[in-house]
Structure 1
Amino acid sequence: MTARLSFASLPAAHPPAVDPRELTVGIVHLGLGAFHRAHQAVFTEEAARLTGSTGWGIGGVSQRSTAVRDQLAPQNGLYAVLTRGPGDPSIRVIGSIRDILTAPEDPQAVVDRIAGPEVAVVTLTVTEKGYRAAAAGGLDLTDPEIRADLTGRPPRTVVGQLAAGLARRAELGAGPLTIVSCDNLVANGPFLRRLMEDYATAAGAPAGLAKQLEVARFPASMVDRIVPATTAADRDEAARLLGVRDEAVVVAEPFLQWVIEDDFAGPRPDWDRAGAVLTDDVAPWEQAKLRMLNATHSMLAYLGGLRGYETIAQAVRDEELARLAQQLMTSDVVPTLTPPDGLDLTAYGASVLERFANPALKHRTAQVAMDGSVKLPVRLLGTVRDRLAANAEPRLASLAVAAWMVYVARGQDVNGRPLSLDDPQADKLRAALQGSGQEPRQLVEALLGVESVFGPDLRESETFRGLLTGHVTALTS
């Protein structure tokens, strides 16, 4: 039986860049999923290698299940990143994650970890829905978990964990904290600050929390790397390359990017030495990525899923879908963007489709299609609004939204196979559709009426409604 990856079985040919046993925790990361392990954890380890710093080990927090802890703990926190590009795959063992907590098991331990005086930075990848924001912006104070955290229980929401951790830091006299959101949200840093301020106000503005919020920094950031779900075949491939079994291996494309607003409350890892871009203005990078890469990803997930394609690579090899994806970027998105210095939007759009076409990744359309109700507003609806404001018809962006509507309403692909609705607002979407008829116009009216997705402005737009109805008619005929 093949040994499992650990300090004892570490392959001599694949050591981590820094000896993990020398690292102390200086970063807490909330949301210990595959993306973090293939992105921020890699940047952090590379920065440590280049600078010799040992103070930036990561204390990871899994927000939901024990699965990641159960994978990593027997491996001394070690795992591999299996990189799949055009040629042969490569593999690298990472050791920057030094501590693993599971929030539902011990929420107070999470608070204590954030409060630790040795911690200077908290990073987050909790997906859009993890922030529990209201449709109109700000924190959703009607959310039952937020309300429960506000009663003073050991917190279970991300905002509650951060608030309790900051309050505890005030009690301990710990220094100011930098909190870096790495999720696909517009102006994610200021957005998270607003949620925290809303929570503090609802909690009665306790002095310690208010003081810590005053000195905390919430820099915006933009992250980019395609990280599909790991399969059994990936684990077998990793075992072949390593010579030991890795139950926590993650898969990624070669491309890796991180743009961070240079606004920190105290010390930070030298992520820029590892290739991250530190800038005064993340917004142009963020807009280009959200509206070009993420929006096109969603379009291909819904159109491709409806056509029966299991992976994004299969969808983008469909000539018609590739053409539509290209037109979405060139016709609807690019006119709404001001590119940052050094970014050629035409070349960037071509690179997006080239990356999506990588057959080695096997990024499932169903995975990308998840959580559409919270992804559409940040990926596509901003483009729709900007084009409408310019008296232009957002035909391709509307097609992507219409594909989501049909995906939600139909629930099966062209071959009759089920398309699951994995969405935090699934019940609300089903309820909206329950009272509607089967005609395209009725379907559009029903889903446009979900204000937490579209808002009143888009619901009342005759141009947008007309485009959606035309596209839904074509997609369902």
Structure 2
Amino acid sequence: MRLGHANLDLLPSAIRRPAYDRSLITPGIVHLGLGAFHRAHQAVVIDDCLAAGSNSSVSSWGIVGASLRSPDTRDALAPQDHLYTVAVRAAEGTAHRVVGALLDSVVAREKPVALVERMADPAIRIVSLTVTEKGYCHTPQSGDLDERHADVVHDLNNLDAPRSAPGFIVAALARRRVLGIAPFTVLCCDNLAANGQTVQRIVTQFAALRSKELSQWIADTVTFPCTMVDRIVPETTNADRDAVATALGMRDAWPVMTEPFTQWVVEDRFAAGRPDLAAAGVELVSDVKPFELMKLRLLNASHSALAYLGYLAGYETIADTMQDPHFARLAAQMMEDAAVTLTMPEGTDLSAYRASLLKRFANPALHHRTWQIAMDGSQKLPQRLLGAMQDRLAKNLPIATHALAVAGWMRYVTASDEQGRTIDVRDPLAAELAALAREAGPVAERLAPALLGVTKVFGPLGGEPRLREAVTAALGRLYAEGARRAVETQISA
């Protein structure tokens, strides 16, 4: 039996389900990037918003999800009325809930014109995104639109049938402007530095390539709130599907796995209204930046370090990696080093936050693969690692711990592990990085400068002598000692 609206009453009593009549809910949000993270984070919040209210304004905030490329999520969820299960895993057990906020889904590549029309519908007041860092067709180091990106070039030649997230946003806003429809809010939920401001810059730069007037209209009328999102969401495995089926007594083709912790901090700037996010636990603030940097530099940076170095050391998951006390101390040291670069609002307890991160990383029920976190590192390093390194250099503080993490990424993107086995590197720059690695060979003094010269990742910071020295030394230790020993050496220094 398959999960679906007609079967909700057959679920075991312990399974939480939508506490509202889904037939009364209409869409107010289009979400680009219908992946596991959105379904375990923002969609859960909207589900809580819908459950908290009963008036007509609350019932108009349902979600239409858009997969930009793959039909897999749509194909899995459409036959079950877009219901799906969120399995919250902790050491003491797993809690399940069925989420109903997602009303429909589309595949952008199949019907781009239809998605533009959906986004141009006056009922849609928010367009949110989780397309990952690489989905913005930008240069991570500068935060500017990459005008030579293949999808950008395509979209400028196919204005009404775009491929990229910026292309869809601009096409829909252009249509709303022509039709005299007020703009929607663009709500980025990805790990970009100053994500709202960055996406505003990318979108207005893209629009300017079409029309200066359109670009100015977007700058004047569209709001791009900054946000910080936090929840660990591993990829779903067949074993996970089987476990959820056992708990539900019916099949869910694409449940999502996650942890108990969740956080969403949002700048309260919405052009066309919003759900009652505060009622669902969202922190509405005037300035997100301190929280964003806190998460990027404490959680994401140490997560990446554990991913690259843990993978090289042979650990499959973050929890496995954290069982090694040297790696657990490495994560703690990275957080301690990064904390001195942060300026937080009064009352923020960074020590407690760091302790909570270490506990979350060690959650044995959460099978978050190091390989999964290692994806798209060229897009992630500037926000997660390089900013803190730059700030520590400015304070004349050592950067050896962060340098080891960067060296771990360099060793990883050579696409060959410590046993000579091929690494399946998933990164927009994978081919370019692999070519540089082949030319340099497994010699730190050649490989580190070659990769530091990739300006799309490192920008001018790649030429900083102290950074080059620290990263080259760390990469040399990885080649000479292996990841496990290099980590032990670093945390014992």
TM (normalized to structure 1)? 0.96
Q: What's 2:468 paired with?
A: 465
Q: What's 1:408 paired with?
A: 413
| Residue number among 284, 292, 303 corresponding to 2:290 in the alignment | 284
Q: What's 1:6 paired with?
A: 4
Q: What's 2:130 paired with?
A: 125
With over 3 angstroms needed to count, the CA separation of the structure-2 counterparts of 1:435 and 1:418, relative to structure 1, is closer
Residue type of the alignment partner of 1:408: V
Q: How does 1:317-336 map to 2 (within 5 A)?
A: 317-330=323-336, 332-336=337-341
- Cα deviation for residue 472 of structure 1 reads 1.0
Q: Distance in 2 between matches of 1:212 and 1:307?
A: 48
Structure 2 gaps, min length 5 = 481-493
- Deviates further, 388-397 or 356-365: 388-397
Q: Give the 3-state SS of the residue equivalent to 2:436 in structure 1.
A: helix
Q: Distance in 1 between matches of 2:311 and 2:246?
A: 32
Q: Distance in 2 between matches of 1:333 and 1:459?
A: 19
Q: Give the 3-state SS of the residue equivalent to 1:100 in structure 2.
A: strand
Q: What's 1:194 paired with?
A: 201
- Cα deviation for residue 144 of structure 1 reads 1.9
Q: Distance in 1 between matches of 2:318 and 2:165?
A: 31
Q: Distance in 2 between matches of 1:239 and 1:303?
A: 35
Q: What's 1:176 paired with?
A: 183
Contact preservation (8 Å) 1:366, 1:419 = no
Matched, 1:45 2:47: yes
Q: How does 1:48-447 map to 2 (within 5 A)?
A: 48-52=50-54, 53-134=58-139, 135-153=141-159, 154-207=161-214, 210-330=216-336, 332-409=337-414, 411-412=416-417, 414-447=418-451
Computed over aligned residues only, the root mean square deviation of the Cα atoms, in angstroms, reads 1.3
Contact preservation (8 Å) 1:315, 1:322 = yes
Q: Give the 3-state SS of the residue equivalent to 1:46 in structure 2.
A: helix
Q: Distance in 2 between matches of 1:370 and 1:124?
A: 19
- Deviates further, 341-350 or 282-291: 341-350
Residue type of the alignment partner of 1:48: L
**CA deviation map 1:314-355 (0-9, x unaligned):** 01111111111111111x201100123432111111111110
Residue type of the alignment partner of 1:100: S
Contact preservation (8 Å) 2:392, 2:398 = yes
Q: Distance in 1 between matches of 2:62 and 2:356?
A: 33
Contact preservation (8 Å) 2:415, 2:424 = no
- Cα deviation for residue 445 of structure 1 reads 1.2
Q: What's 1:19 paired with?
A: 21
**CA deviation map 1:149-208 (0-9, x unaligned):** 11234111100100010011122222231111000011000100001110111113254x
Residue type of the alignment partner of 2:316: E
- Deviates further, 14-23 or 321-330: 14-23
Q: Structure 1 segments of 4 or more deviating over 6 A?
A: none
Contact preservation (8 Å) 1:30, 1:124 = yes
Contact preservation (8 Å) 1:170, 1:212 = no
TM (normalized to structure 2)? 0.93
